[in-house]
Structure 1
């Protein structure tokens, strides 16, 4: 674990350098409203060179499926810069996210926030931590007191109407909804109790892999919007503390408050 945290911290320090001079970055459009910069690409290259051992598979946002992924026992799932739009606009909510999957099981997750000097990490079966201190989900017991996070589709993405309907159903029953723009960091906030839950549709594996390990080890319930689906497979995640999950999920699934 220590070498992974070191690698992610080094990547974060490099990103802080890019962030300080972000006006000079070369920016490309993946699609309408979705950006990538040289900061994303160089950070992924650094993490791959540091983390990958011979025979490891690699699934990263900027390089996608590397050769050998289907046969590798160990696979790194990496978002070098989750929250690129925030990063480029000078909004300090972005992170580096890393997960390790071994024989089909995600065993390690790290989400590092360089701006706040916060490193969330978890090992399967060993708990979840923030800067070395154990964390768990919030103790909020009433839905009307709960604060939730989400992501909202943008540009030409599908699902905008579905998500607007989700928010319209949920808002009358809770203390608020936050859309902060970095899913990995949002999931870490649920794991440490800053948010009581989170949902979003059709995320990519690198958006949620590290966060899912954190959630599991911090005692959160995790399902898909369809209970029969797995977030790891569909990218659609619904998570909350055990005491809030049932009423929260009924509203999001539109099966009654």
Structure 2
């Protein structure tokens, strides 16, 4: 997988140059909703990545955020988020990422998440270590929620279902050391991998949000599942990623929150 990893890394860094050059200054081209934004840089970065992948691997389908359909491709496919954290980017907040994964029948096999603002490149392959700027990383050693720093996000339908999502937030905030909300699921997963966060949960995600970060977190020693503890499926809308040590405690809080919040929107 060396060629695939090298290609993904090179394209992520090249797309990152577009992003960092336009931070806070890109023209808006679409508003899917008041909180779901698309800029010209999203589309330029996606086109750059798709063209590069199609040239290098013409037989491999590409699922990308701005042009994706709703069907899972058969066989291996590339999964691309050209700019994860668009709202941060629009407001000039330097926290966003390019996410590229090659996904096989049993999950991702190559993953790159590049933060152009901090010049941090997270990467992993199915049989290799998780790395940050090519140095190995591992998850934290936190043993309990009391000592855990968690991170979460809220989906684009949050205004209509605020009480539902805040039920989860309140329960975790009352049990963990603290909770953050940074605005990039790809980086949230990588920060779990690097031991900066001890756990991450979120509703309403898509394959391009989690495919790369999932592999990076797992190869760093983390555990990534759905809210019931089953292995993560990036085509399902929920994810829990932890250092493994606090996973069961987090699952118990998720079960409590699900019982209290009722059926998901």
Above 0.5 in TM-score?
yes
Displacement after TM superposition at 1:248 (Å): 1.7
The residue correspondences of 1:64-213 to structure 2 (distance < 5 A) are 64-65=68-69, 70-71=73-74, 73-154=75-156, 159-213=161-215
Partner of residue 6, structure 1: 10
User: Which one of 54, 57, 68 corresponds to residue 58 of structure 2?
Assistant: 54
CA distance in 1, matches of 2:19, 2:206: 21
Partner of residue 17, structure 1: 21
1:210 is paired with a residue whose SS is helix
Q: 1:157 to 1:98 in 2, by over 3 A?
A: farther
Moved over 6 A (4+): none
Greater shift, 148-157 or 190-199, is seen at 148-157
Deviations 1:100-134 (A, max 9, x none): 01345310111100010000000002110000110
User: Which one of 22, 32, 36 corresponds to residue 34 of structure 2?
Assistant: 32
Displacement after TM superposition at 1:70 (Å): 3.4
Q: TM-score, normalised by structure 2?
A: 0.88
Greater shift, 29-38 or 101-110, is seen at 101-110
Displacement after TM superposition at 1:74 (Å): 2.8
Q: TM-score, normalised by structure 1?
A: 0.91
Q: 1:60 to 1:158 in 2, by over 3 A?
A: farther
Q: Number of aligned residue pairs: give it.
A: 252
Instruction: Give the superposed CA RMSD.
Output: 2.1
Maintained 8 Å contact 2:9/2:112: yes
Maintained 8 Å contact 1:58/1:66: no
Q: Give 5+ residue unaligned stretches, structure 1.
A: none
Displacement after TM superposition at 1:168 (Å): 1.3
Q: Give 5+ residue unaligned stretches, structure 2.
A: 260-265
1:242 is paired with a residue whose SS is coil
Matched, 1:243 2:241: no
CA distance in 2, matches of 1:45, 1:24: 16
